[in-house]
Structure 1
Amino acid sequence: MTSAMIADENTLRQRIGRQEANRRAIRIWLGVVLATLFCLVLVGGATRLTDSGLSITEWKPIHGAIPPLTAAEWEEEFALYQRIPEYEQVNKGMTVEEFKKIFWWEWGHRLLARSIGLVFALPLLYFWISGRIERRLRLPLVGLLALGGFQGFIGWWMVSSGLAERVDVSQYRLATHLVTACLIFAGCTWIMRALAPHSDDPEPSHGARRFAAALAFLTLLQIYLGALVAGLDAGLAYNTWPLMDGALVPGDLFVQSPAWLNLFENAKTVQFVHRLGAYLLFAAAFVHMIQCLRQAPSTTHARRSVLLFVLVTIQAALGVTTLLLQVPLHAALAHQGGALVVLGFAVAHWRGFIGAYPPEVMIAERT
């Protein structure tokens, strides 16, 4: 090997080494984004559970970051709240001090939402300008940033549904808002896992990757169904398990017409379908685990399938506990947080079958 070839090889190794260091930095950044998203979703859940989501009746993306600072400003904010149906029909006679308790939940949720934009956008800009973002990552990361910006509009679209004729937000819009947040969470997890080291273990079976993908989609679907339950307060309607309204399959599931409307607007049907979704996800995770353990018990894929089943089992137990206790705040938030953990791990498990991105030598060195 000539000295020129050795020099070229050393240069290539240095570039790959720099790329690995860049990938570690990007993984740390995405980890911070995921942690912030996790907190944002939990605060959003608390806002919903404390009936605080309609306390701020205007959308001020910039000016709204500053809360009321004087007694006059609090009175002004409270006067705006007094105009909506929720105050008239639910909280009539509420004092300013009582209003502050629900205001701070919604304000905190919006502040976190603004913060996540900065936590994502500023490091992305820095990594991009400094040449640390690989070409294959540019479009996905910009797409996630755009989806995050659109999520702010979806949030206001959701809130606006409860300001005129309703005393709460539309369950359809609530589900859209939560699922969009979960898509951003899943996208960050996917990229973060793709940049991490992977094992060289063979795939347990030809269909294991597709099964893992199905588990991720089932988890997202179950989160959507859970959002419908929350939007209809269906978790407060039937608080027994395994029976529901005294039966394994309760009656009056399709009393509305057309029949499909019951899947979205009948509290009993929505809760029952959410239960069925939980049973399906539990069974699918169990079958996937057995499949992986039988075919390749010593691989990281099999160990991940066991952990995924454990997480799904814990999440199911949290769901039953939340139901039996009639949806107390802490149990409900644990259940919502558990859903994000299961989704994140399911997505990472699926991505683990594909393997890490191969090294990509930078087109141009930084000057």
Structure 2
Amino acid sequence: MTDTTNPLGLDEHSHGAGVQVPDSKRDARTRSFDVADFPVPHGREEEWRFSPVRKLSDFFTDAASESKLTTKGDLPEGISVEEISLEAAQELGILEPEDRAAVVAANRASTVTHYSVPANTELSGAAIIHADGTGDDISHGHVVVSVGANAKATVVIEHEGLARHSELVSLVVGDGADVTFVSLQLWDDASQHLGQHDAIVGKDAKLKHIAISLGGDIVRLNTNVRYSAAGGEAELLGLYFADAGQHFEHRTYIDHNTPKATSNVHYKGALQGKDARSVWIGDVLIRPEALDIDTYELNRNLILSDGARADSVPNLEIETGDIAGAGHASSTGRFDEEHLFYLMSRGIPEEVARQLVVRGFFNEVIQKIQVPEIEEVLNERIEEELSRSVL
């Protein structure tokens, strides 16, 4: 069917009971904390074929680095932070990495920074962690966020400055917990950032993962979700605005391995300027045991100038017919000229009208974020992007 609410000509389709999609072997990828299990990427692998691998060779080198981000936190009462070992992190039930850069980061990080929220605790406000780059040497980081049963927490990591940073972020969401995690990329233009974010979602728990990329030369984030018991909910939101020469790549993977779970993925991006590039890859695997699940993934891209390119690839593997629903959609296009004409016909100058269209395009995702602590920052940065607009 056609989505008539989408001005960019989006085509979408859904899958119901009895529909089988050929196996793409998404689950066949290696998972391990051993660097030796991952060969150095050459760029022809499925998971790296859209990435500028030659520019990222340092991230695959298994070597120690003295460089690290400078962090400071504005932490509300109820959340604690400690430095633990990789072995202690594994005992918390974190998932194993799925690519070489992430496993190198996990092994070469000087320590694991563990943010913990006890069971039955509700944070009074968001925990805001500022992570600032200190130079162009490779830095490695491993952050674990564990939230106990029936707790409620919002954790925001805000990246700024100049850095070449590789990270593994591990989220452990306890039974009945409600967790919002935000990764905000506001890097200087020359920064490079590779990250893998892995989440395990407990029984009847809720996870909202938000990835916002507005700065940096290359940003590549993988977000992977699995469920430890039935009834979990996962919502993955993303927003990015790529300027000339920037490469923003976001990959999501929902592994539906339990019954009665839900997932919703919604990413939006705008691109302007020569060689502005975005990549979104969305994988969903529905295993035979994932009965009565419901999943949907959506990516929309708005091209604002010639020379920009957006790749959008949704993938859906269904191994059972007993599901509530599954669907995916993606689109890439330019302005809706009818919307533009409508605004201009009411006396709004064309440049202002075009900026209003872009703001409206992003607003659908922004309204879903619902983290007041970052809304002002987000709106300011989008305004900065629009002020440099080549519309």
Q: TM-score range by the shorter chain?
A: under 0.3
Specify which structure has the higher proportion of strand.
Answer: 2
Return the TM-score normalized by structure 1: 0.24
Bigger Rg, structure 1 or 2: 1
